């Protein structure tokens, strides 16, 4: 009995009875923990991909920033105009937008010709603005044409908007010169050649030291023609609130001089000396020479041949000594250099408030030259 109880079979039965089911071996390596490990590995790969993507984007952004920093800026309207002025091969340049200056424009020298045209949206004039700090166009020995431009807020010693010496022919058509300031020739100062203005406006220009609030020419040579042009609210410290012209030829037709002032000199609107001039169909309204002579005009007719043709109007001008409209001075005691004898012709009656200080033999009733006015004006 004892031997039977200790046999192999008995031992097996006791072994089964003393424990639970025999554990099963899981296949596939790590069981449930292996699945979690695989998911973690996938997450890490995605994370690294995201890191690499962000790093790549960041690098690309930095490269773009570096490229933008080193790349030259796109040309501005100012830089394009400057390039045209400096390039001797450019004979015509068209502005499509306004130009705001950050520097004085370079001189255009010894060029056959240059045409500047404004073609801004809605057919308006293109502006070149000096911001009250910079000088505008400077020409030397160059013919030029300005069309449909507004040149404004320039500053210089002479001719803030346009300064010209030499050159045979210059024109400005449908241009505005506004708010320019210089010691003399607030907007324009020139020395030689023929300068023709048609359909222009000179407004609120100022000569702070000398004459010619808008336009000034004081050299021996040079001629000018003004057609259908308005001078308004220009001021000069000395002679010629709007225009001062010495020697040469100047002709006015169908112009208007409105509210111009010579604050310390003669000729509230114009001051002409030693030249040939015809003035026709032109209005002089409310101009003044508060401390001087010739509220509208001052003519110094020594060595001069000036004709006031028909159609001129003088209203509301002011000056001292009964010269609210005209002041005429100068004699023929010295032989004239150019015009002999010197003369001032009235084609129509003498305007009231005209002060004549010249000998009566120098004042004529004649329309000589008036028939030529249209020829002068049309060039």
Tokens of 269: 């609107």
How far apart are alpha carbons 117 and 119 in whole angstroms? 6
- Tell me if 121 sits within 8 A of 103, measured CB to CB: no
91-138, pLDDT tens digit by residue? 999 999 999 999 999 999 999 999 999 999 999 999 999 999 999 999
**To the nearest whole percent, how much of the chain has pLDDT over 90?**
71
Read off the pLDDT of each residue in 330-345 and give the average, rounded to a whole number: 81
| Interacting residues of 200 by C-beta distance below 8 A, sequence separation 6+ | 172, 173, 174, 175, 176, 177, 226, 229, 230
Tokens of 231: 């001078």
With DSSP H G I counted as helix, E B as strand and the rest as coil, what are the percentages for the chain, rounded to 5? 20, 35, 45
Read off the pLDDT of each residue in 248-260 and give the average, rounded to a whole number: 97
pLDDT of residue 169: 93
Mean pLDDT check: name the lowest of 45-54, 101-110, 302-311, 349-358: 45-54
Instruction: Assign 304 a pLDDT band (cuts: 50, 70, 90).
Output: very high
- Tell me if 363 sits within 8 A of 356, measured CB to CB: yes
Is a pLDDT exceeding 70 seen at residue 31? no
- Tell me if 113 sits within 8 A of 143, measured CB to CB: yes
The 313-315 sheet, strands edge to edge: 99-100, 126-129, 149-152, 176-178, 201-203, 230-232, 256-258, 283-285, 313-315
192-250, pLDDT tens digit by residue? 899 999 999 999 999 999 999 999 998 888 999 999 999 999 999 999 999 999 999 99
- Tell me if 231 sits within 8 A of 258, measured CB to CB: yes
- Tell me if 275 sits within 8 A of 248, measured CB to CB: yes
Strands 270-273, 243-246: parallel, antiparallel or unpaired by DSSP?
parallel
pLDDT of residue 269: 98
Read off the pLDDT of each residue in 22-38 and give the average, rounded to a whole number: 52
Instruction: Assign 61 a pLDDT band (cuts: 50, 70, 90).
Output: low
Burial (CB < 10 A; 0-12, 13-18, 19+), residue 357, is middle
């Amino acid at each position: 009995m004892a031997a039977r109880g200790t046999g192999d079979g008995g031992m097996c039965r006791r072994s089964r009875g003393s424990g639970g089911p025999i554990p099963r071996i899981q296949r596939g390596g790590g069981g449930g923990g292996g699945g979690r490990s695989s998911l973690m590995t996938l997450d890490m790969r995605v994370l690294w991909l995201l890191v690499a993507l962000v790093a790549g984007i960041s690098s690309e952004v930095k490269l773009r920033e570096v490229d933008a920093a080193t790349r030259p800026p796109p040309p501005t309207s100012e830089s394009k105009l400057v390039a045209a002025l400096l390039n001797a091969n450019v004979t015509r340049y068209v502005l499509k937008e306004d130009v705001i200056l950050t520097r004085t424009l370079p001189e255009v020298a010894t060029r056959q010709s240059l045409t500047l045209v404004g073609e801004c949206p809605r057919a308006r004039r293109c502006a070149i603005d000096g911001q009250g700090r910079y000088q505008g166009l400077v020409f030397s020995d160059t013919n030029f044409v300005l069309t449909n431009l507004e040149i404004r807020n320039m500053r210089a010693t002479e001719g803030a908007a346009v300064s010209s010496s030499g050159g045979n022919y210059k024109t400005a058509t449908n241009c505005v010169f506004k708010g320019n300031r210089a010691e003399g020739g607030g907007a324009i100062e020139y020395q030689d050649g023929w300068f023709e203005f048609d359909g222009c406006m000179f407004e609120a220009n100022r000569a702070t030291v000398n004459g010619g609030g808008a336009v000034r020419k004081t050299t021996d040579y040079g001629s000018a023609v003004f057609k259908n042009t308005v001078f308004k609210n220009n001021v000069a410290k000395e002679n010629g609130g709007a225009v001062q012209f010495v020697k040469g030829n100047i002709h006015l037709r169908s112009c208007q001089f409105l509210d111009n002032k010579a604050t310390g000199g003669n000729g509230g609107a114009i001051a002409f000396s030693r030249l040939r001039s015809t003035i026709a169909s032109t209005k002089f309204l409310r101009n003044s020479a508060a401390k001087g002579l010739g509220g509208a005009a001052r003519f110094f007719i020594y060595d001069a041949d000036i004709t006031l043709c028909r159609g001129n109007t003088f209203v509301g001008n002011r000056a001292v000594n009964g010269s609210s409209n005209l002041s005429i001075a100068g004699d023929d005691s010295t032989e004239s250099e150019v015009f002999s004898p010197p003369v001032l012709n009235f084609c129509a009656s003498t305007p009231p408030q005209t002060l004549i200080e010249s000998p009566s033999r120098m004042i004529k009733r004649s329309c000589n030259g008036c028939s030529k006015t249209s020829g002068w004006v049309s060039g």
